[in-house]
């Protein structure tokens, strides 16, 4: 029996709301540390409010992308032909979107970092690392029981 999209979303929300909350807390702590480190790394005089706004926007985007990636990986894993391919594509797209938003804010607010590419890349990886680690753990655990 094939479930409708709304039914799938409702079931997903009932099952995954606590995971999204835990990830949101992780992302909030990570972004707080990122703001502190970026404030130390800035080579220009930029308002702290702009730095907080930029990282809060990245935080909200990361939580949204985590929720969407978790939904696609768990309920629509057949979307791109297989579970591994679908999850790899959602992870890569999510990392690129977070990276692009971070680079946009760096350029828009004229943040002067020694290496803005490194700052954006590390922010993307730090924010999406739990999802990547979670999926690697699930694949390893799944292949252990498959044999």
For the cut 90, the answer to whether the pLDDT of residue 27 exceeds it is yes
The pLDDT score that the predictor gives to residue 136 is 82
Q: In this structure, is residue 8 part of a structural domain?
A: no
pLDDT in tens, 105-138: 999 988 888 888 998 999 999 998 988 888 888 7
Confirm if 66 and 131 have CB atoms less than 8 A apart: yes
Give the model's confidence band at 142: pLDDT under 50 very low, under 70 low, under 90 confident, else very high.
low
Give the domain extent around 43: 15-146
Q: In this structure, is residue 6 part of a structural domain?
A: no
Q: Which of residues 4 and 103 earns the better pLDDT score?
A: 103
Q: In this structure, is residue 10 part of a structural domain?
A: no
Q: In this structure, is residue 77 part of a structural domain?
A: yes
Give the model's confidence band at 12: pLDDT under 50 very low, under 70 low, under 90 confident, else very high.
confident
The pLDDT score that the predictor gives to residue 98 is 93
Domain count, the chain: 1
pLDDT in tens, 81-113: 777 888 888 889 999 999 999 999 999 988 888
Confirm if 55 and 34 have CB atoms less than 8 A apart: yes
pLDDT in tens, 37-70: 988 888 777 888 898 999 999 999 999 999 998 8
126-130 LR contacts (CB < 8 Å, sep 24+): 126/30, 126/34, 127/27, 127/30, 127/31, 127/58, 127/59, 127/62, 127/98, 128/62, 128/65, 128/66, 128/91, 128/94, 128/95, 128/98, 130/23, 130/26
Residue whose structure tokens are 């797209």: 93
Q: In this structure, is residue 5 part of a structural domain?
A: no
Q: In this structure, is residue 2 part of a structural domain?
A: no
């Amino acid at each position: 029996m094939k479930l409708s999209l709304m039914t799938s979303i409702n079931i997903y929300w009932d099952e995954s709301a606590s995971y999204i909350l835990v990830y949101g807390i992780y992302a909030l702590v990570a972004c707080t540390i990122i703001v502190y480190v970026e404030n130390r790394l800035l080579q220009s005089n930029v308002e702290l409010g702009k730095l907080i706004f930029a990282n809060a926007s990245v935080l909200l985007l990361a939580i949204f992308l985590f929720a969407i990636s978790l939904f696609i990986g768990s309920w629509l894993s057949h979307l791109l032909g297989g579970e591994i391919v679908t999850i790899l594509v959602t992870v890569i797209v999510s990392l690129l979107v977070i990276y692009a938003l971070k680079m946009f804010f760096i350029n828009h607010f004229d943040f002067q970092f020694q290496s803005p590419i490194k700052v954006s890349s590390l922010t993307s990886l730090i924010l999406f690392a739990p999802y990547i680690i979670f999926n690697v753990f699930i694949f390893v655990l799944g292949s252990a029981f498959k044999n």
